[in-house]
Structure 1
Amino acid sequence: MLSNFKNHISARFPFMENKKLFLAVSGGLDSMVLLHLFQQLEYKIAVLHCNFQLRGLESFGDQDFIRNYCEENNISIFTTQFDTEAFAKDYKLSIQIAARELRYSWFYELLETHNFDYILTAHHADDNLETFIINLSRGTGLDGLVGIPEENDKIIRPLLPFSREEILKYAEENNIEWREDSSNASNKYLRNKIRHDLVPVLKEINPNFLKAFQKTQSYLQESNEMAEDASIMIYQQVAKEAGEEIHFNLNQLKKLPNYKPYLYQWLNEFGFLAWNDIYDLVDGQSGKQIFSAEFRLLKNRDTLILSPIAEIPEKEEFEINESDQEVNFPLKLSLCNVSHITIDSNKVIFVDAEKIQYPLILRKWQEGDSFQPFGMNGKSKKISKLFKDEKLSLIEKENSWLLCSNDQIVWVVGIRQDERFKIEDTSNKILKIELQE
């Protein structure tokens, strides 16, 4: 196995040579073999060990075992302890997810603070098979079937091509000691049930099942890469990025024979789960929307608009005093006195400074708000009607601000000025207010 492993590292990860590597070592069979293999290859390594405190004294026994091994072999080691159960309870996570989040957060912290290059874990071919079956049982797309990636950012899994059987054989041949995790014998967890009950049956049906599975998974990976390439090409035709928003042209989208897989590919990373509702949104009513934890998808006429969910400011109103020359939150505005009007733009207004009263108030619009649009000779108009005429989306309406003086609207910011504050022949002081990008 050592020879095969060395060839695999040279072929797949030549960039690791002369790099500083962290090895995640639990003390179990797989990670101890990984550690032994890298000792033979003489890479620059250090060991990371997490004590999740889930098995009482056994967890601390693992920690002592790893620390003693590293001391005997002159290997640097970093250890930490987590109250995993408390963390899982506080954040309403399963124990497995909690342990994963704690582990990888700590890993990345050490990468940065100690200037190491990569973290190596001991996931192997049987782990990959178990993950495949778990994802398959829960319902998944191609991403869930291609398995555990060999390389993911700074995480590298060099044992993925090797089976648990090969790893055990190598350990026995090299007299490698390891610690048995008692929880691995329990069928309490889904992965263990698959490992103990299902996988042996599959291998009994076909002794070469694992190799056949690896071949199938390589085909799935190729198909996934082809789908990603097609997704990028179609995205360029259908989507337009506008700041933090992405606008999907529904007329273009519906020309595709089957647009659903493309929507899944584009939106999956944003945490959406209600896929049937998203597909129905394409032909749904304008104004309907679907939410994930941090994003929303809005149907706006012939467009789907993806946007982050805006944080609502703690204050709903913001004061602008006469001495203020600029405002940086919630909008960026500049204010200055000028001698004459220079430009005409929705981003800039010129008002009679003697007509306004300080402090000016910057606030969100409310139902029932009305103003006298510039150029309409004093006729009143509801803000909601202005938004409709301007064909603003729901998101644009929510992000609209009003600049007010003594309860009168001076400016629907970036859209329309109020007639009552316009410059006249008798105006002595001109105030320029500009919305900065």
Structure 2
Amino acid sequence: MGRMLEEAVRYARAQDLLHPGMHVLVACSGGPDSLALLDMLLQFRRRFRLVLTAAHFEHGIRGASSAEDARFVAAFCRERKVPCFIGHGDVPAVAKAQGKSVELAARELRYAFLWQTLERCGADVLATAHHADDQAETVLMRILRGTGLDGLAAMKPREGKKIRPLLFARREDILGYCQERGLTPRHDATNDIPDCTRNLLRLKVLPYLRQSCNPEVARALCQLAELARVDCDYLEQQLEESWPYLTREEDGRCSIVLIAFQRRHPALQRRALRRLYTGMAGMGRDLGFSHVEELRLLALSGQATGKTMELPGGIEAHFTYDRLILRPALPKREPQESASAVPVIVPGRIDYGEAVLEAELLEALPAGDGSRGFYLDAGVLRGAPLVLRHRQPGDFIELPTGRKKLKEVLIDDKVPREMRAGLLLLATGHEILWVVGRRRTSHYPVTDQTKRILYFQIKEKGNKK
């Protein structure tokens, strides 16, 4: 066995990439990297008892040359009795129609085909031929665009059902392997044109850095990626252990407990915010540094209660007294005038929005009132008229400890700011008798001297119970 194959076996075992009896779908473009990968796996087939299938996506970018690539891969596989799936697409047309770069459209269409093929043939993993020089290009590209520790980790040997068995190998070693094995891979001429960021880095920037700064720049960048990957794994492990203490699950929605969040290291705080967002937005969506940091500083400020913040993907962050909640952003509505005060007729029934208030006079206390019932001495009727309404400036309520502004009561009760304007109030003038479902006045109590009791019940419209 040659040196390259020995290294490939060691790497596959060290990274736990191949298992006995595994069905591997190999993405093969026909170029040197993917052809070498398919050839190596064919040599591993007996040792690992592998089942191999190949897949090639003909993207239509290079016309007749693209079609010839597909025929070449099909013939290569046929000679070696490897099942091969060929997919076709018009990448330039899709890129134009969707307003995307050709590179992005090609990647999306290619991977859509590969994952569909994996499901179709029942393979366990998808093997791609990314190598060490690809890794160096990826790390450098992410540094230039702006990235964090996860971005520096770049490509991993295994990500879900995707494996990269050649991530240890340099491009020159792969070309040498092809020559030793007598392989005649196809050449994609578009890779020789510095018309996109990756090609520019590979053809211009990295050669310059090798010549002027560090002959081993690719190795250094790959080493950086490996160190970042291990550190990321450790931070994820720490976050996983902290997650049950950092969060609460209610009504199928996860929220961050602010007091627990504030005690964590900033590295875990940022990671927790990103995980919360990904859980809401879906895998493949991440939150940028500026949004993460703005959220984090708000959470640490102690003054975030009631604030909301718009995030990408139609999501908004909302702070309550003790939680950070992510939720779908509510559609913006034109401001509407709040419902005016409605006089309360005793006895009688009053409709107010989706609520119904029933009022009656009793000779004795009701059997039970609960949070949706309220009673007081009917002597209140000798004062200002009773009304059902929402909050107004100057509102107050009489409590056993004395008179208190309604605003202060709602703050003490930790009622979220966005809910306060919608609270239903039974009032006489600016005196609040009942914050429906919450607080009741201590004024006008029912005593032995009470002759008649004024009793209220609040119901949802359409509910007669």
Aligned to 2:76, the other structure's residue is in SS state helix
Match among 79, 94, 102 for residue 109 of structure 2 = 102
TM-score, with length taken from structure 1: 0.71
1:293 corresponding residue in structure 2: 313
List aligned pairs for 1:194-343, cutoff 5 A. 194-204=201-211, 205-256=213-264, 258-259=265-266, 261-269=267-275, 270=277, 271-273=286-288, 274-282=291-299, 283=301, 285-290=304-309, 291-309=311-329
Output the CA distance in 2 between the equivalents of 1:308 and 1:182: 46
> Distance between the aligned counterparts of 1:383 and 1:61, measured in 2?
75
Residues 169, 4 of structure 1: alpha-carbon distance in 2 compared, 3 angstrom cutoff: same
Give the root-mean-square deviation of aligned CA atoms.
3.9
1:141-180 aligned at under 5 Å gives the runs: 141-180=148-187
Q: Which moved more, 1:199-208 or 1:160-169?
A: 199-208
CA distance in 1, matches of 2:71, 2:417: 59
* Contact residue 134 and residue 191 of structure 1 kept, 8 A: yes
Task: For residue 285 of structure 1, report the CA deviation from its aligned partner.
Answer: 4.3
Contact 2:125 2:163 in 1 (8 A): yes
| CA apart distance, 1:415 | 9.2
Q: Which of 55, 60, 64 is equivalent to 1:53?
A: 60
How many residue pairs get aligned? The number is: 363
Identity among equivalent pairs (%): 27
Q: Tell me, in whole angstroms, the C-alpha distance in 2 between the residues paired with 1:23 and 1:86.
A: 27
TM-score, normalised by the number of residues in structure 2: 0.67
Q: 1:328 aligns to what?
A: none
Supply the distance in 2 between the matched residues of 1:246 and 1:281 (Cα, whole angstroms).
18
Query: For structure 1, which segment, 388-397 or 157-166, has the greater mean C-alpha deviation from structure 2 after superposition?
Result: 388-397
Deviates more, 1:55-64 or 1:204-213: 204-213
Rg bigger for which structure? Answer: 2
For 1:414 and 1:123, locate their aligned partners in 2 and report how far apart those are by CA, in whole Å. 62
Letter in structure 2 aligned against 1:279: R
CA deviations 1:334-376 (Å, max 9, x no partner) are xxxxxxxxxxxxxxxxxxxxx999xxxx97xxxxx89676326
Residue 9 in structure 1 maps to residue 9 in structure 2: no
Measured in 2, the distance between the counterparts of 1:397 and 1:53 equals 60
Shift of 1:303: 2.7
Q: Is the 2:32–2:185 Cα contact (8 Å) retained in structure 1?
A: yes
Q: Distance in 2 between matches of 1:281 and 1:230?
A: 23
User: 1:272/1:8 Cα in 2 relative to 1: closer, same or farther (>3 Å)?
Assistant: closer
Q: Which runs of 5+ in 2 are unaligned?
A: 278-285, 333-348, 359-371, 377-385, 393-405, 425-435, 440-454
> Residue 229 and residue 73 in structure 1: after superposition, are their counterparts in 2 closer, same or farther (change >3 A)?
closer
Please give the alpha-carbon distance, in whole angstroms, between the structure 2 residues aligned to 1:29 and 1:288. 55
Contact in 2 for aligned 1:289/1:297 (Cα 8 Å): yes
CA–CA distance in 1 between the matches of 2:189 and 2:419?
Answer: 56
Question: Aligned in 2, Cα 1:310/1:93: closer, same or farther, shift over 3 Å?
Answer: farther
Equivalent pair of 1:371/1:381 in contact (CA under 8 Å)? no
Q: Distance in 2 between matches of 1:249 and 1:14?
A: 38
Q: Distance in 2 between matches of 1:89 and 1:65?
A: 28
Among 40, 43, 67, the residue aligned to 1:40: 43
CA contact (8 A) 1:356 1:421 kept: no
